[in-house]
Structure 1
Amino acid sequence: MPEISHAIGIGELARRTGCQPETVRYYERIELLENTLRTEGGQRRYDERAVRRLTFIRHARDFGFSVDAVRELLAMSDQPDMSCQEVDAVAKHHLEEVESRLQRLSALRDELRRMVSQCDGGKVESCRIIEVLSDHQLCISETAHKGAHDFG
C-alpha cells in the first residue's frame, strides 16, 4: 500500500465504486475486501488496488453472484496464470441458477395474471385472489410456488 497520506478515505472509495461506506465496512468484515491501513486517528485508508477490488466485488454482486462465488472469483483473479476453466464453471453455474429463477418468475407472473384476471372486483368474500391464495390446489402451476419467495 502507498503511504497513508496518498491513499483515499472510505468516503472517496465508496464514491468511486458507487457504494455506501457501510457496504465497504461489510465487505471488510466478511473478508472480501482486505483490512486496510489506518491513520493515527483510526481512519481507514485505501489504495488503487482496493478501488479495483471493490469495483470487481460490486460488479459481480450486481450480476447476482453470491458472496461465496465472489470470494471464489476473487481468489482466482489473484492467480493470473491459472486456467480460467474454474472461473468459467462458476459463471456457468450462476447462469443456470439465473435461468432457473427466470423460469420460476415467469410461472409466478402467469399465475398472478390468471388470479388478477379472474377477480371480478366484488366483495372480499368472493374474491378469486383470496380464494387462490387460500387454496394451493387452485393454482395451475406448481413451479410458480417453488422458490418464489427467493425474489422478494
Structure 2
Amino acid sequence: MKKLYNLFTLAMVALMSLTFTSCEDEYIASSLEGTWEGYTNMQAVYDGRYYNSTYSYVDFTTDPFRYTSGRGHWVDYFSNAPWDYLASHIEWRVRDKVIEIYFVEDNYTIYIDNYRLNDSRFQGRIYWNEWTDYTFDLVHTSSPRWDDYDYGYYYYAPSADGKSSPQRPQRILR
C-alpha cells in the first residue's frame, strides 16, 4: 500500500508541475501583449551590403483562443540604408518559458529564452541559431488595455528619395 501511495504522490507532483508551467506561459504571454519600442540589434542585408537597425517597434497581439500565442508586427528602422524601415508580420508563442517569434515574410524563427520581462521593460537575448545571439532592450509604450491603436499592415517603405526596389531587403542577425 505504501508503494502505491508513493507512486500516486509522484504522479500528482508531475501533473502539478505541468499545470504550473502552463500558467506561467500564459502570464508571460499576457505580459508581452502590447507595443514595445527600443533597440533589438537587428541587421539587414541588401545588394551585398549590411545595415544595422537604429530603432525597433514590436507589436504583440494575443490570440483570444490560445492564450500563449498570437500575431503581430516587427518593424526595424534604419539610417543610411536605401529604405527607411523593414517590417514583417510575426507569429509568436510561449512554450516552456521560451518565446518563439516567426517572421512570416522572412521565413525564419528567433528564440528568446534569457530575458527579463515586466509591465514596462523587456530585456534579454535574441537567439538566431545555436551560435548567434544578440541583446535587446525594449520599453512598453502601449497596450490593448491602455488605449485603442491602429497597427496597420505595412511591409517596408522606400527611401526618402522615393525610389522603390523590386527586391525586398533580408533581415538577419550575424
| TM-score under structure 1 length normalisation | 0.25
Higher fraction of strand: 2
Bigger relative CO (Cα 8 Å, ≥ 6 apart): 2
| TM-score under structure 2 length normalisation | 0.22
